[in-house]
Structure 1
Amino acid sequence: MKAQIALITILTKDVPTMKNFYKDVLGFEIKSDMDNYVEFESEGARFAICNREIMTQVTGGHPSYQDEKNGQAFELAFPCDSPADVQKTFEEIVSKGATPVKAPSAMPWGQTTAFFADPDGNIHEIFSN
């Protein structure tokens, strides 16, 4: 095995809503759409959304995929070209339906960051160095 991530999959009970959010709000293009599994065009690691029940089936009913977890389980971070781009992007995605979590601000480590949530409540970051 290589110590490299080749695929990131978000598990959800509502694939259509999540698919529309990542397509319409964040601008990902759909590569493959099989109703309960959607894969997006993504430079670098592959990126997908999958129905929890499908993952339970393909793993032989493993209980981890059946549990409803509370709280944040992961974060995606999206790079921007500049602090002004962070502000512009934040305003744009919020106007399209992202839930604002924290407006852009300068962080002590030198980045400008902003946080938003997707329809399942997963909090993600946009940033510039």
Structure 2
Amino acid sequence: MTQHCPPHSPMPYAAVLCDVDGVLRHWPADNEIEHAHGLPVGALAAAAFAPARIHPAITGKITDEQWRSAVAADLANSCGSKERAHAAVAAWSELLPLVDQELVDLLTRVRDVASVALVSNGTTRLEQDLARQGLGRVSKVGWPAGWRSSWVGCMIVAMSDVPSRLSVVTLGVRDLPRLRRFYRDLGWEEIPSGDDDWTGFLLGGVLLALYPVEELAAEAGAGEEAVPGWSGITLACNVDSPGQVDTAFTAAVAAGATAVAVPTDRSWGGRSAYIADLEGNRWEIAWASSARFDDRGALTGFGS
């Protein structure tokens, strides 16, 4: 497609739109799930995509979780129990589509000559689904201005060169062996590829890296002096309960951290404490009821 278009020639269009479902990704049949849970063929789709169910989900009036829960409630009688219905919907929710990788590659090349947008009537789980399906690197999700009220269920997923992802947090350190021992003493597992000049600890999907501050300054702050002390930035370790804030705070201090702020119930409804590591980097140990995590401990959602 792009091979016949000189890169600087006038284009007859400003953007290319591509549908996500049925074009970029193709969902498998759910017959086996229906059979395993005693449902007639087509029952899952009939319940899930009934207008009264799907319209609130794709227009943002309810969350994906609320939609799937309502679908399970509708199927309870057919399944014989609420538990079997929820199990059927859970299995259906884990289905993965076949992604047309050739089309992904083509759209990526098209971006050299035109804007590309993927169009979907997805639920609030769309961004998570795209990441799980390997499309997170090329997409970001949003509602175009003015479209939410006039286009029922239409979302734009823009092909982005900058994925919405935080992969590594690097601390510029003055004494790498000392700070490495501190984080080891917290019980955190060090990656095996570390060496005398660099190391890291994988924390639920984000790498905490330690790198000599002089080397980091040469890369990221050429000509600027690295000032010791608190930078005004805090890192956070969220825990599973209010009581665990106190436990983790005590353990960190025992490992050598400096107590900055003792565990306190906060005005925003959670509980948190602050410590500083051996070079003054501030960590918040926090519990928030609205934080949601996957099995690795990676943050998957925040807020109601």
TM-score bin (small chain)? 0.7 to 0.9
1:16 correspondence with 2:177: yes
Normalising by structure 1, report the TM-score: 0.86
Distance change (3 Å), C-alpha of 1:14 and 1:109: same
Please name the residue that 1:82 is paired with: 241
- Aligned partner letter, 2:203: S
- Segments of 5+ residues of structure 1 without an aligned counterpart are none
Please name the residue that 1:123 is paired with: 282
1:2 correspondence with 2:166: no
Normalising by structure 2, report the TM-score: 0.39
**Contact kept in structure 1, 2:270 and 2:287, CA below 8 Å:** yes
Larger relative CO (CA 8 A, sep 6+): 1 or 2? 1
Per-residue deviation at 1:100? Answer: 0.6
Per-residue deviation at 1:12? Answer: 1.1
Q: Which structure has the highest strand share of the two?
A: 1
Q: How many residues align?
A: 126
- Segments of 5+ residues of structure 2 without an aligned counterpart are 1-161, 289-304
- Aligned partner letter, 1:109: W
Write out per-residue CA displacement over residues 4-62 of structure 1, whole angstroms, 9 at most, x where no aligned residue: 2111100011111111111112x2211032112111122222220000222245x3981
Please name the residue that 1:104 is paired with: 263
Q: Which structure has the highest helix share of the two?
A: 2
**Contact kept in structure 2, 1:36 and 1:54, CA below 8 Å:** no
**Contact kept in structure 1, 2:274 and 2:285, CA below 8 Å:** yes
Please name the residue that 1:67 is paired with: 226
Write out per-residue CA displacement over residues 63-122 of structure 1, whole angstroms, 9 at most, x where no aligned residue: 23x432553342110011111111111111112211111110100000100110101111
Give every structure 1 segment of 4 or more consecutive aligned residues whose post-TM-superposition deviation is greater than 6 Å: none
